Amino acid sequence: MLIPHPLLGLRDAQEFSYLGDASLLDRPDGLAEKAGDAFFSYVYLRENPAGVHRELWFHEQGDRSWLVVTRNTVTHEILGAELARDVALRSRSPRERGDPA
Amino acid sequence: MPDLKPITALGGDTARRLHHGALELEENTELALASLALRRGATQPTLCGIDLPGPGAWALSDEIAAFWTGPDQWMVEGQNRADSDFASEVAALCPGCSVTQQTDGFAAFEIRSSAGETPILQLMAKLVNIDPIRFPSGSATRTGLEHMSVFVIRRAAHHIAILGMRSAAGSIWHALEKHILRIEDRKP
Protein backbone atom coordinates (compact mmCIF):
# COMPACT_ATOMS: atom_id res chain seq x y z
CA MET A 1 0.00 0.00 0.00
CA LEU A 2 1.35 3.43 -0.98
CA ILE A 3 0.44 6.64 0.81
CA PRO A 4 0.60 9.89 -1.20
CA HIS A 5 2.51 12.10 1.23
CA PRO A 6 1.61 15.74 0.47
CA LEU A 7 5.27 16.81 0.65
CA LEU A 8 7.29 13.72 -0.28
CA GLY A 9 5.10 11.94 -2.84
CA LEU A 10 4.23 8.24 -2.82
CA ARG A 11 5.74 6.43 0.16
CA ASP A 12 5.42 2.84 1.34
CA ALA A 13 2.87 2.31 4.12
CA GLN A 14 5.56 0.35 6.03
CA GLU A 15 7.22 3.69 6.82
CA PHE A 16 4.09 4.83 8.68
CA SER A 17 2.39 3.82 11.88
CA TYR A 18 -1.36 4.05 12.32
CA LEU A 19 -3.07 5.80 15.21
CA GLY A 20 -6.80 5.83 14.48
CA ASP A 21 -9.79 8.02 13.71
CA ALA A 22 -8.90 11.59 12.66
CA SER A 23 -11.56 12.90 15.08
CA LEU A 24 -8.84 12.55 17.75
CA LEU A 25 -7.61 15.94 16.52
CA ASP A 26 -10.73 17.54 18.04
CA ARG A 27 -9.87 17.19 21.72
CA PRO A 28 -12.71 18.49 23.94
CA ASP A 29 -12.20 21.42 26.28
CA GLY A 30 -11.49 19.91 29.72
CA LEU A 31 -12.81 23.00 31.55
CA ALA A 32 -16.16 23.17 29.77
CA GLU A 33 -19.40 21.99 31.35
CA LYS A 34 -20.10 18.29 30.89
CA ALA A 35 -16.43 17.77 29.98
CA GLY A 36 -16.72 14.25 31.42
CA ASP A 37 -19.35 13.26 28.86
CA ALA A 38 -17.34 14.85 26.06
CA PHE A 39 -14.20 12.96 27.09
CA PHE A 40 -16.14 9.69 27.42
CA SER A 41 -17.10 9.83 23.76
CA TYR A 42 -13.68 11.24 22.74
CA VAL A 43 -11.81 8.37 24.40
CA TYR A 44 -14.15 5.40 23.93
CA LEU A 45 -16.71 5.92 21.19
CA ARG A 46 -15.72 5.47 17.53
CA GLU A 47 -17.57 5.14 14.28
CA ASN A 48 -16.60 1.94 12.54
CA PRO A 49 -17.59 2.60 8.92
CA ALA A 50 -17.39 0.07 6.11
CA GLY A 51 -16.30 2.61 3.53
CA VAL A 52 -14.59 5.98 3.54
CA HIS A 53 -12.73 6.72 6.77
CA ARG A 54 -10.47 9.61 7.80
CA GLU A 55 -7.60 8.43 9.97
CA LEU A 56 -4.29 9.57 11.48
CA TRP A 57 -1.01 8.11 10.24
CA PHE A 58 2.47 9.00 11.55
CA HIS A 59 5.40 9.04 9.11
CA GLU A 60 7.75 7.49 11.62
CA GLN A 61 10.49 6.36 9.22
CA GLY A 62 10.23 9.58 7.26
CA ASP A 63 9.76 13.23 8.05
CA ARG A 64 7.90 12.48 11.34
CA SER A 65 4.81 14.32 10.22
CA TRP A 66 1.25 13.36 11.15
CA LEU A 67 -1.08 12.89 8.19
CA VAL A 68 -4.84 12.68 7.86
CA VAL A 69 -5.34 9.89 5.33
CA THR A 70 -8.72 9.24 3.74
CA ARG A 71 -9.04 5.51 3.10
CA ASN A 72 -11.81 3.19 2.01
CA THR A 73 -11.82 0.47 4.66
CA VAL A 74 -13.48 -2.01 2.29
CA THR A 75 -11.13 -1.72 -0.69
CA HIS A 76 -8.09 -0.15 1.07
CA GLU A 77 -8.08 2.50 -1.65
CA ILE A 78 -6.33 5.67 -0.46
CA LEU A 79 -8.40 8.66 -1.54
CA GLY A 80 -6.14 11.42 -0.25
CA ALA A 81 -3.70 12.58 2.39
CA GLU A 82 -2.97 15.94 3.96
CA LEU A 83 -0.83 17.22 6.80
CA ALA A 84 -2.67 16.89 10.13
CA ARG A 85 -1.16 20.24 11.10
CA ASP A 86 -3.03 21.94 8.25
CA VAL A 87 -6.28 20.16 9.17
CA ALA A 88 -5.97 21.13 12.84
CA LEU A 89 -5.09 24.75 12.10
CA ARG A 90 -8.05 25.10 9.72
CA SER A 91 -10.50 24.00 12.39
CA ARG A 92 -9.23 26.40 15.06
CA SER A 93 -9.91 30.05 15.65
CA PRO A 94 -7.44 32.64 14.30
CA ARG A 95 -6.30 33.45 17.86
CA GLU A 96 -5.41 29.83 18.62
CA ARG A 97 -3.49 29.66 15.36
CA GLY A 98 -1.23 32.44 16.61
CA ASP A 99 -2.37 34.89 13.93
CA PRO A 100 -2.63 38.51 15.04
CA ALA A 101 -6.29 39.19 15.86
CA MET B 1 45.12 12.63 33.98
CA PRO B 2 43.82 9.40 32.50
CA ASP B 3 45.00 8.85 28.96
CA LEU B 4 41.71 9.04 27.03
CA LYS B 5 41.62 7.96 23.43
CA PRO B 6 38.85 9.00 21.02
CA ILE B 7 37.27 6.20 18.98
CA THR B 8 35.01 6.26 15.94
CA ALA B 9 31.34 5.22 15.90
CA LEU B 10 32.49 1.71 14.91
CA GLY B 11 34.99 1.61 17.77
CA GLY B 12 38.17 1.95 15.70
CA ASP B 13 41.06 4.39 15.95
CA THR B 14 40.53 5.50 12.36
CA ALA B 15 37.60 5.46 9.92
CA ARG B 16 36.72 1.98 8.66
CA ARG B 17 36.88 1.46 4.90
CA LEU B 18 35.81 -1.26 2.50
CA HIS B 19 36.75 -1.33 -1.16
CA HIS B 20 35.10 -4.02 -3.24
CA GLY B 21 34.81 -3.94 -7.02
CA ALA B 22 33.51 -0.57 -8.16
CA LEU B 23 32.12 0.40 -4.77
CA GLU B 24 33.92 2.02 -1.88
CA LEU B 25 32.32 2.28 1.57
CA GLU B 26 33.82 4.60 4.15
CA GLU B 27 32.86 5.65 7.65
CA ASN B 28 32.78 9.47 7.68
CA THR B 29 34.15 10.45 11.08
CA GLU B 30 34.68 14.08 10.13
CA LEU B 31 31.08 15.10 9.49
CA ALA B 32 29.59 17.66 11.88
CA LEU B 33 25.80 17.84 12.14
CA ALA B 34 23.38 20.37 13.59
CA SER B 35 19.61 20.41 13.32
CA LEU B 36 17.90 23.69 12.47
CA ALA B 37 14.23 24.47 13.13
CA LEU B 38 12.29 27.66 12.52
CA ARG B 39 10.15 29.15 15.25
CA ARG B 40 6.52 29.84 14.40
CA GLY B 41 6.21 32.72 11.97
CA ALA B 42 9.99 33.15 11.59
CA THR B 43 11.55 33.95 8.23
CA GLN B 44 13.81 31.39 6.63
CA PRO B 45 17.52 32.26 7.06
CA THR B 46 20.20 31.86 4.38
CA LEU B 47 23.19 29.78 5.47
CA CYS B 48 26.56 30.59 3.88
CA GLY B 49 24.90 31.10 0.51
CA ILE B 50 22.63 28.04 0.73
CA ASP B 51 18.95 28.51 0.17
CA LEU B 52 17.53 25.98 2.63
CA PRO B 53 16.15 23.20 0.41
CA GLY B 54 12.53 22.11 0.08
CA PRO B 55 11.05 18.65 0.84
CA GLY B 56 13.25 15.75 -0.26
CA ALA B 57 16.19 17.94 -1.28
CA TRP B 58 19.84 18.50 -0.31
CA ALA B 59 21.86 21.64 -1.07
CA LEU B 60 25.62 22.18 -0.92
CA SER B 61 27.88 25.22 -0.73
CA ASP B 62 31.63 24.66 -0.20
CA GLU B 63 31.97 22.73 3.06
CA ILE B 64 28.45 23.38 4.39
CA ALA B 65 25.41 21.45 3.21
CA ALA B 66 21.81 21.19 4.36
CA PHE B 67 18.93 18.84 3.75
CA TRP B 68 15.22 18.97 4.56
CA THR B 69 14.07 16.75 7.44
CA GLY B 70 10.52 17.99 8.07
CA PRO B 71 8.30 21.06 7.70
CA ASP B 72 10.47 24.06 8.71
CA GLN B 73 13.27 21.70 9.81
CA TRP B 74 16.67 20.94 8.28
CA MET B 75 19.89 19.13 9.13
CA VAL B 76 23.05 21.12 8.46
CA GLU B 77 26.25 19.24 7.59
CA GLY B 78 29.81 20.50 7.98
CA GLN B 79 32.47 18.39 6.25
CA ASN B 80 35.72 18.01 8.25
CA ARG B 81 34.24 19.92 11.20
CA ALA B 82 33.32 17.08 13.60
CA ASP B 83 35.77 18.26 16.27
CA SER B 84 34.46 21.84 16.29
CA ASP B 85 31.48 23.38 18.05
CA PHE B 86 29.52 23.32 14.82
CA ALA B 87 26.08 23.99 16.35
CA SER B 88 27.14 27.34 17.81
CA GLU B 89 28.57 28.39 14.44
CA VAL B 90 25.24 27.54 12.79
CA ALA B 91 23.28 29.23 15.59
CA ALA B 92 25.27 32.42 15.06
CA LEU B 93 24.33 32.39 11.37
CA CYS B 94 20.63 31.81 12.10
CA PRO B 95 19.52 34.17 14.86
CA GLY B 96 16.13 33.31 16.33
CA CYS B 97 16.16 29.68 15.09
CA SER B 98 16.40 26.55 17.22
CA VAL B 99 19.75 24.84 16.61
CA THR B 100 20.82 21.58 18.25
CA GLN B 101 24.12 19.73 18.08
CA GLN B 102 23.61 16.32 16.38
CA THR B 103 27.17 15.25 15.54
CA ASP B 104 27.45 12.60 18.25
CA GLY B 105 23.94 11.25 17.68
CA PHE B 106 24.60 9.98 14.16
CA ALA B 107 27.09 7.88 12.26
CA ALA B 108 27.72 8.73 8.61
CA PHE B 109 28.75 6.37 5.83
CA GLU B 110 29.80 7.45 2.34
CA ILE B 111 29.44 5.09 -0.62
CA ARG B 112 31.18 6.00 -3.88
CA SER B 113 31.22 4.23 -7.19
CA SER B 114 34.13 4.28 -9.62
CA ALA B 115 31.95 2.89 -12.42
CA GLY B 116 29.29 5.56 -12.80
CA GLU B 117 25.85 5.46 -11.24
CA THR B 118 24.81 1.89 -12.13
CA PRO B 119 26.30 0.23 -9.01
CA ILE B 120 24.76 2.97 -6.84
CA LEU B 121 21.31 2.38 -8.36
CA GLN B 122 21.65 -1.40 -7.83
CA LEU B 123 22.72 -0.88 -4.23
CA MET B 124 19.90 1.56 -3.47
CA ALA B 125 17.36 -0.88 -4.90
CA LYS B 126 18.65 -3.48 -2.40
CA LEU B 127 18.90 -1.17 0.61
CA VAL B 128 15.93 1.17 0.73
CA ASN B 129 12.36 1.33 -0.50
CA ILE B 130 12.95 4.50 -2.55
CA ASP B 131 12.76 4.60 -6.33
CA PRO B 132 16.43 5.30 -7.26
CA ILE B 133 15.45 6.74 -10.65
CA ARG B 134 13.36 9.41 -8.94
CA PHE B 135 16.15 10.13 -6.45
CA PRO B 136 18.64 12.18 -8.49
CA SER B 137 21.70 13.90 -7.09
CA GLY B 138 20.64 16.64 -4.70
CA SER B 139 17.96 14.43 -3.10
CA ALA B 140 17.78 13.46 0.56
CA THR B 141 15.14 11.63 2.55
CA ARG B 142 14.59 9.70 5.73
CA THR B 143 13.52 6.10 5.29
CA GLY B 144 13.90 2.61 6.74
CA LEU B 145 16.97 0.43 6.16
CA GLU B 146 16.63 -3.07 7.64
CA HIS B 147 14.18 -1.70 10.24
CA MET B 148 16.55 1.14 11.19
CA SER B 149 15.66 4.76 10.50
CA VAL B 150 18.29 6.42 8.30
CA PHE B 151 18.80 9.49 6.16
CA VAL B 152 19.81 8.76 2.57
CA ILE B 153 21.54 11.57 0.65
CA ARG B 154 22.42 11.44 -3.05
CA ARG B 155 25.44 13.74 -3.04
CA ALA B 156 26.26 13.02 -6.69
CA ALA B 157 25.24 10.49 -9.34
CA HIS B 158 28.05 8.16 -8.18
CA HIS B 159 27.95 9.02 -4.47
CA ILE B 160 25.38 8.39 -1.71
CA ALA B 161 25.63 8.91 2.03
CA ILE B 162 23.75 7.02 4.75
CA LEU B 163 23.29 8.72 8.13
CA GLY B 164 21.93 6.55 10.91
CA MET B 165 21.73 6.31 14.68
CA ARG B 166 25.24 6.18 16.10
CA SER B 167 24.23 3.40 18.51
CA ALA B 168 23.31 1.28 15.46
CA ALA B 169 26.53 2.05 13.54
CA GLY B 170 27.68 -1.59 13.60
CA SER B 171 24.34 -2.89 12.28
CA ILE B 172 24.26 -0.27 9.51
CA TRP B 173 27.83 -1.12 8.49
CA HIS B 174 26.94 -4.81 8.43
CA ALA B 175 23.92 -4.17 6.18
CA LEU B 176 25.88 -1.96 3.78
CA GLU B 177 28.87 -4.31 3.67
CA LYS B 178 26.69 -7.37 3.03
CA HIS B 179 24.87 -5.80 0.08
CA ILE B 180 28.02 -4.28 -1.46
CA LEU B 181 29.75 -7.68 -1.39
CA ARG B 182 26.71 -9.42 -2.88
CA ILE B 183 26.21 -6.93 -5.71
CA GLU B 184 29.83 -6.90 -6.75
CA ASP B 185 30.22 -10.69 -6.47
CA ARG B 186 27.15 -11.37 -8.59
CA LYS B 187 28.58 -9.61 -11.64
CA PRO B 188 29.58 -11.93 -14.49
Number of domains in chain B: 1
Does any domain span residue B52?
Answer: yes
CATH architecture classification, A2-26+44-91: 2-Layer Sandwich (3.30)
Task: Give the model confidence (pLDDT) of B98-116 as tens digits.
Answer: 999 999 999 999 999 999 9
- CB within 8 Å of B86: residues ≥ 6 apart: B32, B33, B34, B76, B78, B101, B103
Spell out which chain B residues touch chain A, with contact meaning CB-CB distance below 8 angstroms. Answer: 40-41, 55-56, 68-71, 129, 134, 141-144, 149
CA distance B179 to chain A (A): 21
- Mean pLDDT computed over A25-39: 90
Residues of chain A with pLDDT > 70: what percent?
91
- Mean pLDDT computed over B131-142: 92
Beta pairing class for B17-20 and B23-28 = antiparallel
Q: Kindly report the CATH number assigned to the domain that includes residue B50.
A: 3.30.1360.120
**What residues of chain B lie within 8 A of the CB of A16, using their CB?**
none
* CB–CB contact B71 A63 (8 Å): yes
Does any domain span residue B10?
Answer: no
What CA–CA distance (Å, rounded) separates B37 from B30?
23
Full residue range of the structural domain in which residue B137 is found:
17-186
Residue A85 has pLDDT above 50, yes or no: yes
- For residue B136, give the H/E element and its range: none
What CA–CA distance (Å, rounded) separates A5 from A50?
24
Residue A75, pLDDT score: 94
Does any domain span residue B9?
Answer: no
* CB–CB contact A62 B71 (8 Å): no
Can you tell me whether residue A89 is helix, strand or coil? helix
- Mean pLDDT computed over A18-45: 91
Please report which residue ranges of chain B form alpha helices under DSSP H: 86-93, 118-127, 169-186
* CB–CB contact B71 A85 (8 Å): yes
Residue B165 has pLDDT above 70, yes or no: yes
Residue A101 has pLDDT above 50, yes or no: no
The ipTM of this complex is 0.76
Does any domain span residue B5?
Answer: no
Rounded to the nearest 5°, which phi and psi values hold at B98?
-95, 115
> For chain A, what are the domain ranges?
2-26+44-91
* CB–CB contact B40 A98 (8 Å): yes
Does any domain span residue B57?
Answer: yes
